[in-house]
A = this chain, B = another copy of it.
Amino acid sequence: MDDINFAVLGTGGIGRRTLEVSTHKDGLTPVAACDRHGVAVNHDGLDVAELLDATEGNIAGDGTGDTDSETRANDDRVTDGGTAVKQHGDGAGIVASTQGTPTETPIDDIIDESEDIDAVLLALPNLEHDFIPRIAERFADAEFEGVLIDVLKRSRVIGMLDEREATLTDAGITFVCGAGATPGLLTGAAALAAQSFVEVEEVEIWWGVGLKSGYEDNRGTVREDIAHLDGYDIETAREMDESEIEAVIEAHDGVLEFDDMEHADDVLLERAGICDGDDVTVGGVLDIRQDEKPTTTTVRVTGRTFDGERGTNTFQLDDATSMAANVNGPALGYLKAAVRRNRAGDYGVFGPAELMPGF
């Protein structure tokens, strides 16, 4: 009765690793997955090992992780996400799996099955701001009752989801946005660390990611990060081809440092009433040439206590925990919490901090 069936849209690094993490979890059954050209559905549970094996280094897409073929029908860039493509069957991606079926309409195919699905993880980079909000709308139009959850990073997407909140609520959807590492795990940690205080003055989120072995799987994520660098924005990053991305990485010797990023943690902490968005800073260092983290991921929350003291509570992730571990564990954790809310009839749009103790 507490079991949860879920689907994953997108089988880039985040989607595939989430499927893998779910096999370690009790009560979580992955029943559907799709990428740009294929869909796999089995309501008794996908064979995750076979699916991962078939799609490893073999992603159907254009390197952006974009799964929505309908919205990108005129886009001919298909690089298969890397040079070392491992072909296990005909075509790339999910269709290479024995469980996969080719399709022109992968998201609609999942929506068609959604009556028997409790939760859907949208593991898609949001290169167009309204890409994920529009997908949410399609689930609502189909009267999906359940959880939608994404691992978005961008502040401005939250507002677009809020604009659709009535539609989502009417359908019976509990939408959790920004439920990966940051925002996600670290936003939740900030919300919890704030509990010692009656006023939060500053939240500093600082992350380190070493991504050598995961680079091929996470090109979409790296592209999103490049949009945060000085001189780039979301549009220029989207238009870059792979060689331009490589050139940026080369110019930085493989180590990209980010300060004061537009990261949804600010909006998500503000909407939970914890602090002003302006009091939140997010930065970090991404090293694409080694797996070792270039800096320790740390959340520091500074505030005033009711008894007049000022202090800083700290949350630190061990350097041995990979980005994948810190995105996919929390995504499934928030998914579980959201399904509980959804089953109780609590619908709408939530950030991770709103699934924590209130402030």
Contact = CB atoms under 8 A, between A and B. Distances in A.
Interface string A192-235: 11011111000000000000000000000000000000000000
A321 B310 CA distance: 7
A208 B310 CA distance: 17
What copy number does this chain have within its complex? Answer: 2
Contacts of A196: 185, 317-318, 321, 325-326, 329-330
Nearest to A336: B358
A314 interface: yes
A333 B357 contact: yes
A25 interface: yes
A24 B346 contact: no
Interface string A330-359: 101111110011001110000010011111
B306 A324 contact: yes
Interface string A280-310: 0000000000000000000000000111011
11 contacts: A21-B198, A21-B306, A24-B306, A189-B192, A196-B326, A197-B325, A307-B324, A311-B319, A330-B357, A333-B357, A344-B344
Interface of A: 17, 20-21, 24-26, 185, 188-189, 192-193, 195-199, 273, 305-307, 309-322, 324-326, 328-330, 332-337, 340-341, 344-346, 352, 355-359
